């Protein structure tokens, strides 16, 4: 999951530009960046998962129909 790592680094770099972030501990900023990056990747996975489920739902009936007609 390199994607979340790159996103977390990007978020950390954004935090360097905001003076108000210097009031937080570096470990807290890092944890928040990783959490947000994983949340984003998780939601991308859910979108892909839902599409795959709908795709399988369309394919399964046709496979069942082929198996029945071959008997």
pLDDT, position 18? 92
3-state helix, strand, coil in the chain (%, to 5): 90, 0, 10
What is the pLDDT, as a whole number, of residue 54?
Answer: 84
Q: Quote the pTM value.
A: 0.61
pLDDT score of 70 more than 80: no
Q: For residue range 22-53, what is the model confidence (pLDDT) as tens digits?
A: 999 999 999 999 999 888 888 888 888 888 88
Enumerate the domain spans of the chain. Answer: 2-69
Measure the CA–CA gap between 7 and 41, rounded to whole angstroms.
Answer: 9
Answer yes or no: are the C-beta atoms of 15 and 32 closer than 8 Å: no
């Amino acid at each position: 999951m390199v994607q979340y790592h790159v996103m977390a680094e990007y978020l950390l770099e954004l935090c360097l530009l905001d003076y108000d972030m210097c009031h937080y501990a570096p470990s807290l900023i890092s944890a928040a960046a990783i959490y947000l990056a994983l949340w984003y990747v998780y939601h991308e996975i859910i979108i892909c998962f839902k599409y795959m489920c709908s795709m399988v739902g369309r394919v399964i009936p046709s496979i069942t129909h082929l198996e029945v007609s071959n008997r």
